[in-house]
Amino acid sequence: MMLTAGIVGLPNVGKSTLFKAITNSQVLIENYPFATIKPNIATCPVSDPRVKKITEIFQPEKIVPTVLEMHDIAGLVKGAHKGEGLGNQFLANIREVDAICQVVRCFEDSNITHVANKIDPVDDFEVIELELIFADQQVIKNRLEKTVRKVKVTNDKAALKEIELLKKINQALDQGVVLRNQKLTEDEQELVKPFNFLTIKPVVVIANIGERDLSNKDNKHLEALENYAKEKGLEVISVCAKIESEIAELEDAEKTEYLKMLDIEMSGIEQIVLATYKLLNLATFFTAGPKEVHAWTFIKGMKAPECAGIIHTDFMKGFIRAEIYNYQDLIISGDEKKVKDAGKLRIEGKNYQMQDGDICHFRFNV
């Protein structure tokens, strides 16, 4: 299962620099708007210390961490919903991702231009959010026109229900309430899924700070953004994209030493990836043996056959049972045989809801 996150923001806020650091890939980074046109796409491993521990026990030939796909989407500008700055194309790129990482500039640098010629992270955030609202309202407008015509001819009850819901959503959007903050019922959430609205996507805010701000906590731009985000119920992760890009090029041992020198427990990149993982309601199960230790991503709430299908569709079609024990039981016991001897191995059927940290062996027949 590969879920995706899009790095979004105004031009020249550090999106591509951050993307390069997250994915350790080479992208074009320039000091002008729209240096990125088509989205850069790459995968990045999700940092999980459990993989290392499981590997130490099984000593496998191969190790496969779970990954997240990241999209570096070109900078949006005011008027994007009208097509300004290639806005239609960029908004369409955002529709393709599952979560949004919105990068906001919180550093001063006269050598790097800002499209508004001022540093105001709250205003920058609102420009993007407003464009996403307008784009959703355009989708609603187009759909209502079509559905209203249909109702006049058929008086279809489902269509009438849809019209009522879309009008309610649109009214809330008029008041600046994005879809993710609108209290929709489960049925309503199912009804809006096909529209792939932009403002329903979960968001994490990334404050791109300057190098000096790593040691100097008195950043008025960051403080203003954090206060604003708190009111909106959004998480803010502050990173210095330039430093993160340098850290990403280091070997693991050097990286640990460098972070220690900067008095940072976890790199900003790791924080972003983990926050995105959490936003998407994801968890990890493992398959482990002498040939391979593999971490697999699943959505919380999925049942054993669905998770088996992530490995291979045949596993789901012919699912018989799952032999499962938890990561903590493995660490306490020291190896798989001792887990079994301690009676910690469980046999689970089709209705078992998978848990984060489950180590599984699926039995199937096709």
Instruction: Supply the DSSP symbol for 63.
Output: E
Reported as type and span, the H/E element at residue 309 is helix 304-311
- Nearest Cα to 160, choosing from 138, 129, 191, 139? 191
- Nearest-5° angle of CA 277, CA 281, CA 287? 75
Q: Report pLDDT for 230.
A: 94
User: CATH assignment of 4-279?
Assistant: 3.40.50.300
pTM of the predicted model as reported, rounded to 2 decimal places = 0.84
Instruction: Return residue ranges of the chain for CATH 3.40.50.300.
Output: 4-279
Mean pLDDT by 10 residues, the chain (366 residues): 86 85 61 53 87 96 92 72 57 90 90 82 93 93 92 86 95 96 93 95 94 81 95 92 86 84 81 89 96 96 97 95 97 95 96 97 92
Contact predicate 71/39, CB 8 Å: yes
For the four alpha carbons of 310, 312, 317 and 319, in that order, the dihedral sign comes to negative
Query: How many distinct helices (H) and strands (E) make up the chain?
Result: 14, 12
Between CA 27 and CA 72 the distance in angstroms is 9
Instruction: Supply the DSSP symbol for 29.
Output: -
Q: Report pLDDT for 77.
A: 62
| pLDDT tens per residue across span 174-224 | 999 999 999 999 999 999 999 999 999 999 999 999 888 877 778 899 999
Q: What are the Cα distances from residue 336, in Å, to 120, 287, 328, 344?
A: 55, 12, 12, 10
Strands 40-45 and 62-64, how do they pair?
unpaired
Q: Report pLDDT for 31.
A: 42
Between CA 96 and CA 81 the distance in angstroms is 16
Tell me the binding residues. Answer: 12-17
Q: Report pLDDT for 302.
A: 97
Tokens of 254: 């050097």
Q: Report pLDDT for 313.
A: 94
Between CA 278 and CA 281 the distance in angstroms is 5
Between CA 190 and CA 178 the distance in angstroms is 17
CATH class name, domain 301-364: alpha beta
Which three-class secondary structure state does DSSP give residue 172?
helix
Q: Report pLDDT for 259.
A: 83
- Nearest Cα to 325, choosing from 312, 340, 310? 340
3-state secondary structure 252-304: HHHHHHHHHHCCCCCCHHHHHHHHHHHHCCEEEEEEECCCEEEEEEEECCCEH
Q: Report pLDDT for 187.
A: 93
For the chain, give the longest Cα–Cα distance.
71
Between CA 166 and CA 188 the distance in angstroms is 10
Tell me the binding residues for ATP. Answer: 12-17
For the four alpha carbons of 81, 83, 85 and 86, in that order, the dihedral sign comes to positive
Q: Report pLDDT for 80.
A: 52
Which three-class secondary structure state does DSSP give residue 335?
coil
Between CA 322 and CA 319 the distance in angstroms is 8
Contact predicate 126/116, CB 8 Å: no
Q: Kindly report the number of other CB atoms within 10 A of residue 352's CB atom.
A: 18
| Alpha helix positions (H), 110-251 | 121-154, 157-174, 186-192, 220-232, 241-248
Q: Report pLDDT for 76.
A: 67
Instruction: Return residue ranges of the chain for CATH 3.10.20.30.
Output: 301-364
Between CA 122 and CA 85 the distance in angstroms is 21
